[in-house]
Structure 1
Amino acid sequence: MSYATLIRQIEVGEGLGFVDARALGAALLDGGVPELETAAFLVAFNQHDPGLDAWLGLHAALAERLPDFAAPSGPFRTVVLPTYHGVRAHPHLTPLLALLLKRFGIPVLIHGVFEGGGGTAAAYVLRELGIMPCSTTAQVNAHLQEEGIAFAPVALLSPGLAALLALRARLGVDGWVTRLAMLADVLGEHSVRVTPVASGAEIAPTREVLEALGGHALLLQGCEGEAFADPLQRPEMVLMQDGQWQPMYGAQTTASVLENLPEMDARATGAWTAQVMRDHLSLPLPIRNQLAVCLYAAGYTEDLNQARAITAINGFGLGVRALSLRERVGERGA
C-alpha cells in the first residue's frame, strides 16, 4: 500500500474504495502508519470527504477491533451516546439524557473521551454524578446489566482510535476521526445509536452511511457536536430503523428563553442534573423531545405519539407513574 498515492488520491477528490479504505483503516488503527503520514491522512480526510465506500471500509476496520460489549437482556434496546467534543457555550446535558433514559428502565452506554478540548467534557459531569469510567469490557457489561448505565472511555473501545483522536487534538483538526468514532456500532442490533453531527453539512453524508450500515440510529445536529439537542433551539431529528428513515421532529425556527439552566462548568451542571432528577424539574423542550424519540426508538412505546404523551408534562410525570405501575405489577406477580 502506497500511502503517498492514497493521500494524493484523497486530495484530488477521487475518494477511496472499500478495500483500500478498510486496509488503510486497519493500518491506522493498529499504529502501522508512520506519524507523518498519519497526520497527512488526518488533514486530507478533514478537507475532502472520501466517499461512501471509504466510510464503510473505515467503519469495517474499526468494527473488527471493537471489544465484545453486550447489550443487556430485556425488552428495550440500549441507547448508545457518543461524546467526543466537549461544550463551551452550553451546559453538557448528555449525562442528563442518559439518566432520564435510565429512569425509564432503558440501558445506556456512553462512550467517548476524558477531556473537552478546552470546554466541558461529559466525563467531567459524569464524575460529579458518581458515574466513573469503566476499565474493562467485563466491567462495562456488568454495569449495563446491573446498573443500567456505563461509561466506556475511547481507549477501551480502541486504543488505536484513541491515539488518532489524540493526534487530532495536536493538529487542531476535527474531522473524520471524530465522525468515525460517532458512527461506531459498539452494541449491534439490540441498540439505538444516537449519532450527532457538528454541522448541517455533515447530515447528508452521515445519513447515507447510516442507511448503508442499517440498524437503528437517531441522527441530529448535536449541541456543539455532542449527543444532546441544543436546549435552546431544537434541531431536526430523524430516526432510522432497519434502513428506513422517519422524520421525528422538525427544527425550531426561533430560540427558546430558559431561565433555569445551570452554569457551564461541570460542578454546577452535575449539581443541577442531580436536582432535576431528584425533584423532577421541568426539562428544556428539545431535551424532552429527544427523550421521547429515544423512548420510542428503544421500544418503550409503540409509536412516537405515546412517547410524546409520556414526556409531555415535564419529562417525568406520566413516565414515572407508568414505571411505578410496572413495578407494582411486578411486585404482585412476584
Structure 2
Amino acid sequence: MTAKLNMTSIIGRVARGSEHAEDLSYAEAKNLFTDWLHGDLPELAMGALWTAYRIKGESVEELRAFVHALEADIEPIAFQHNCQPVIFPSYNGTLRGANLLPLLAMTLTRCGVPVLMHGFPVDHNANKYSWTDHDPSGRVHSADILREFGLASAENSHQANSLLHLQGLSYLPVDTLHPGLGKMLALRQQLGVRSSVHTIVKLFNPFQDHAVHCAGVTHPPYLLRLQEYFQQEQNTALILRGSEGECFANPKRRPDLQVCRQGESVLWIEKDTQPLQQIPALPENSGISSTCRYMEAVLDGQLPLPSPLVDQALCLLCLSGRCTDMDSAHHHLAHHFSHYAA
C-alpha cells in the first residue's frame, strides 16, 4: 500500500455523510484507487470506502483521478482506424425490456464504425446473488446476446484489436481489462449497493488513442456530473438517460442526446415529449432468443430500427468521424439499411 496514504484519515474525511464529507485531492484519490486496484487496501477499508462514496458521491476531480489510475494500469488497445471507435460499457443488462445495445453496436459496425463493448464475462452467473439495490435475476446481458450470435469475446487487448479489425466489434470482459477492477465490481455482491466503480467503467478509455464514449445513466444528477467530467477531459462523448442502466435509447421514447466535444457540452437532439403515436416493432419478450431473432430481422431489413436508436446511431456516426454531419449520416445509414426508421 502507498506509504503516503493514511486510511484512517481518508475514511474519516469521506465518510462524514453527504453534508460534511470532504473530497480528496487528485493525488490522494489517484493513489487510493491504484492501491485499491492492486488489492493493497484492507478489506474493512474497501467496504467502508465503497459505502462512503455511495453516500458522498464523487467530485469530478476524484473521478478524473480514479479513471487516470485505471487507465495507467491497463494494457491499452493499440487500434488504428480511419474513424474513432465507439465504446459501449455494458454492466447492467435488462429485465423489463429487450437489451438492444448489441443491435445498436451491430448497426454501427455495418456502417463502418468499430465498436468495443466491455462488461461482465459471458459466464457471469448473476442469478446466484441477491442484491438489495438491483435484482439481477433474469437479466439479459450483452455478452449473452453476442455469444448467441456467434461473436467471440476477446481474452486480452491484443485479441480485442484483432476482432475489431476482423468483425468491427469486440467484447472485452472486465476481468481481462483489469483483474482488480473485476474484483472491485464483485463487492456489490457482498455490500448490496453500487458505488464509484460503476461510474468509472462508463468513463475510462481502454484504447491507446482517442475514442468516442457512450454513457447511459440512471440517476439524473449524474447526467451533469458526466458532462462536467467529459468537458474537463476534453473527451468526445454521447450522454443519455439509459435503458435500465444500459447505454441505448429507450426504443419507445427518445431521451435527450447530449454531446460533449472539445470541452463543450451541447444538446444535439431533444427528448421526445409528444404522445406516442405508434408502438415500434420490438421483441416479443426480453429473452435472449427473442432478442436475437428481432436483431436478425432488423439487420436483414425485415423490420425497421426504432427511431430513437436511429437518432442515437446518427449522433455516433458523426462523433466517430464516419460522417461529417447529420444529413450525410442519414444518407449513410439509409444506404446500409433500406428499412431503417420506424
> CA 1:318–1:274 in structure 2 vs 1: closer, same or farther (change >3 Å)?
closer
Matched, 1:107 2:114: yes
How far does residue 315 in structure 1 lie from its aligned partner after superposition? 7.6
What is the deviation of 1:188? 4.9
Aligned positions of 1:273-292 closer than 5 A: 273-292=295-314
Q: Which residue of 2 aligns with 1:91?
A: 98
The worse-fitting range, judged by mean Cα deviation, of 188-197 and 26-35 is 188-197
Residue 62 (structure 2) aligns with: 54
Q: Which moved more, 1:228-237 or 1:115-124?
A: 115-124
Percent identical pairs in the alignment equals 28
Q: 1:50 to 1:246 in 2, by over 3 A?
A: closer
Q: Find out whether 1:67 has 2:75 as its counterpart.
A: yes
Question: 1:316–1:286: structure 2 CA closer, same or farther, 3 Å change rule?
Answer: same
**Superposed CA RMSD:** 1.9
Specify the code of the residue in structure 1 equivalent to 2:247: A
2:33 to 25, 28, 49: 25
- Identify the residue that residue 258 of structure 1 maps to in structure 2: 279
Alignment match, 1:236: 256
Change (3 A) 1:255 1:21: farther
What CA distance in whole angstroms lies between the structure 2 residues aligned with 1:264 and 1:279?
21
- Distance 1:108-1:249 versus aligned 2 partners, 3 A rule: same
CA distance in 1, matches of 2:98, 2:119: 17
Check 1:205–1:188 CA distance in 2 against 1; reply closer, same or farther (3 A cut).
farther
Within the alignment, does 1:220 sit opposite 2:224 as a pair? no
**What is the CA distance between 1:265 and its match in structure 2?**
1.0
Q: Where does 1:1-334 land on structure 2 (aligned, <5 Å)?
A: 1-12=5-16, 13-73=21-81, 75-114=82-121, 115=124, 117-118=136-137, 119-254=139-274, 256=276, 257-262=278-283, 263-311=285-333, 316-317=337-338
4-13 or 34-43, which deviates more: 4-13
Q: How many residues align?
A: 317
SS at match of 1:60: helix
- Per-residue CA deviations over 1:25-61 (Å, capped at 9, x if unaligned) read 0011111112221111111111112312211111111
Is this contact kept in 1: 2:203–2:215, CA < 8 A? yes
Contact 2:240 2:255 in 1 (8 A): yes
Is the alpha carbon distance of 1:126 and 1:100 closer, same or farther for their aligned partners in structure 2, counting shifts above 3 Å?
Answer: same
Native 8 Å contact 1:128 1:271 kept in 2: no
Q: Secondary structure at the match of 1:286?
A: helix
Secondary structure at the aligned position of 2:223 is classed as helix
Cα distance in 2 for residues equivalent to 1:294 and 1:149:
15
Structure 2 unaligned segments of length 5 or more: list them. Answer: 127-135
Asked if structure 2 preserves the Cα contact closer than 8 Å seen for 1:15 and 1:49, the reply is: no
Equivalent in the alignment of 2:133: none
- Deviation digits for residues 252-304 of structure 1 (CA, Å, limit 9, x no counterpart): 22564425211101121112112211235211111000010011111121112
Q: Which residue of 2 aligns with 1:326?
A: none
3-state DSSP of counterpart to 2:153: coil
In structure 2, relative to structure 1, the CA distance for the partners of 1:146 and 1:209 (3 Å cut) is same
Contact 2:235 2:261 in 1 (8 A): yes
The two structures have a TM-score, normalised by structure 2, of 0.87
Could you say which structure has the higher helix fraction?
1
Aligned counterparts of 2:188 and 2:197: Cα–Cα separation in 1: 8
TM-score, with length taken from structure 1? 0.89
